[in-house]
Amino acid sequence: MTTINAQEVEGNLNIHTFADNREYAKSERFSQTIFGIRFSPEIGLLLDSTHRIRVGFNALHEFGSPKFTNKIDPVVYYEYLKKDWNFYMGVFPRHKLLSDFPRAVLTDTFNYYRPNVEGMLLKYENANWRQLLFIDWTSRQTATDRENFIFGLSGSYKKDVFFISHYAMMLHNAGPAIDIPGDHIQDNGAAAVKVGVDLSGRTFLDSLTINTGGLMSFERVRSIGGWRTPKGLLLEVQLEYRRFGITNSFYTGEAHNITYGDQFYTAKTYNRTDLSWRPRIYKGIEGQFTLSFHFLEGVIDSQQAFGIRYNITGSKSLKGK
Q: Print pLDDT tens along the chain (321 aa).
A: 334 467 899 999 999 999 999 999 999 999 999 999 999 999 999 999 899 999 999 999 999 999 999 999 999 999 999 999 999 999 999 999 998 999 999 999 999 999 999 999 999 999 999 999 999 999 999 988 899 999 999 999 999 999 999 999 999 999 898 888 888 899 999 999 999 999 998 999 999 999 999 999 999 998 888 899 999 999 999 999 999 999 999 999 999 999 999 999 999 999 999 999 999 888 889 999 999 999 999 999 999 999 999 999 998 888 754
Q: Are 217 and 257 in contact (CB under 8 A)?
A: yes
Q: What is the CATH number of domain 7-318?
A: 2.40.160
Give the CA count within 13 Å in the CB-facing half-sphere of 163.
20
Task: Name the nearest CA neighbour of 251 among 190, 208, 199, 188.
Answer: 190
Give 98-156 as a DSSP string. Answer: TTTS-TTTS-TTHHHH--EEEEEEEEEE-SSEEEEEEEEEEE---SSSPEEEEEEEEEE
Report pLDDT for 5.
62
Distance, CA of 234 to CA of 213 (rounded, Å): 5
Quote the pTM value: 0.91
Report pLDDT for 65.
94
Report pLDDT for 38.
97
Distance, CA of 253 to CA of 257 (rounded, Å): 13
Report pLDDT for 187.
95
Task: Name the nearest CA neighbour of 127 among 163, 166, 88.
Answer: 163
Report pLDDT for 224.
84
Report pLDDT for 320.
57
Task: Name the nearest CA neighbour of 267 among 281, 249, 285.
Answer: 249
Domain boundaries of the chain, sorted by first residue: 7-318
Task: Name the nearest CA neighbour of 211 among 244, 238, 251.
Answer: 238
Q: Are 38 and 111 in contact (CB under 8 A)?
A: no
Distance, CA of 201 to CA of 219 (rounded, Å): 41
Considering Cα of 265, then 29, then 170, then 73, what sign does the dihedral take? positive
Report pLDDT for 89.
98
Cβ neighbours of residue 161 closer than 8 Å, sequence gap 6 or more: 197, 198, 199, 202
